[in-house]
Amino acid sequence: MRGGKKVNVLALIGCPVAHSKSPRMFNTAFQDTQLPYVYLAHHVEPHQLEMAVNGLKTLGYEGFNVTIPYKETMMNLVDELDESAQVIGAINTVVHREGKWIGYNTDGAGYLRSLRESIAIDLNHCKVVMIGAGGAARAVGYALCTHGIQHLTIVNRTVKKANELANQLASRGQTNFLALADAEEVIAQADLIINTTSVGMHPHTKQSPIPIDWIGAHHIVSDLVYNPLHTALLQGAEKKGAKIHTGDGMLLYQAAIAWELWTSRPAPIPVMKKALEQANS
Ligand code: ATR
């Protein structure tokens, strides 16, 4: 209790969590806005996950974020699932509401908000090629389809997975699929190329998911992989004169949406952004 007021407790749970920048980002923003919240980080071992989730409820936590390796497992431990978590098949944010844990996934919506903040783009008339068909692609594909995108082609090294994801999203928007190896022409005709694969991540930072020759000056190229020096894909795209969008915004905006779910107030984006940059430096 502080000044007679209740302090609401939030947390990150994962294994490991010591490296996480979320506590610093959220606590700086809560201090700045003078909202009575505190955000902790709890390292939870796999065999104690269910006990920990029940413990947070017993202790009256307002909610929590979920990170690796529990985003999928958490689906079985909450009381209700928001549509975002249902479709994406993973939870990154849990909200306490009337004695229940409600699971959300704010990754896709966070990605979309980051893209819109960084580039003026009319997604409804935009031809989008999304590379990858894994968990990150499900989040981004769901967000694109629920925000009215008309032309989405999912391309993946394993075409079967692209087909499955396109089928899953079909009720929400027009989606096609293609093998990555056959995607040169559809990519040439696209406005926006999004990499959701892990290609370009440390230690394979020199790799690009597509040949740079496939990129032209008319493209917007977005990469979920974050590298402060830019991924090989984004470096190549810049050389070709394309506009680029980097992966760091997704972390900021998925957190901003979680903030809004917990507090029902707009997130102080500039404060959170600065805290994140300071934590990165
Ligand atoms: P995440 O949850 O991070 O999305 P994932 O579910 O394992 O991780 O998905 C990884 C994605 O990266 C998949 O689309 C994968 O392609 P496949 O389905 O063919 O495996 C893609 N990927 C990983 N390494 C790749 C590579 N070297 N070339 C092309 N695609 C790759």
Low-confidence ranges of the chain (pLDDT < 70): 1-3
Q: What pLDDT sits at residue 3? A: 57
Q: Is the CB of 136 under 6 A from ligand 1?
A: yes
**Domain edges within the chain:** 8-104+250-280, 108-246
Confirm whether 243 is a catalytic residue: no
Give the strands of the sheet with 220-223, arranged side by side.
175-179, 151-156, 127-131, 192-195, 220-223, 243-245
- 6 DSSP assignment: P
Q: Is the CB of 23 under 6 A from ligand 1?
A: no
Helical packing angle, 248-263 and 107-118, nearest 10°: 120
CA of residue 156 to ligand 1 center, whole Å: 8
CA of residue 205 to ligand 1 center, whole Å: 15
Q: What pLDDT sits at residue 148? A: 82
Question: In angstroms, rounded to a whole number, what is the distance separating the alpha carbons of residues 132 and 191?
Answer: 17
Q: What pLDDT sits at residue 167? A: 95
**By C-alpha distance, which of 20, 17, 38 is closest to 29?**
38
Q: Class of the 108-246 domain?
A: alpha beta
- Residue 160's contacts (CB-CB under 8 Å, 6 or more residues apart) are none
Question: pTM score > 0.90 for this model?
Answer: yes
**Site to substitute for ligand 1 among 157, 177, 250, most atoms within 8 A of C-beta:** 157
Task: Look up the CATH number of domain 8-104+250-280.
Answer: 3.40.50.10860
**By C-alpha distance, which of 151, 225, 227, 232 is closest to 192?**
151
Q: Is the CB of 105 under 6 A from ligand 1?
A: no
Q: What pLDDT sits at residue 147? A: 87
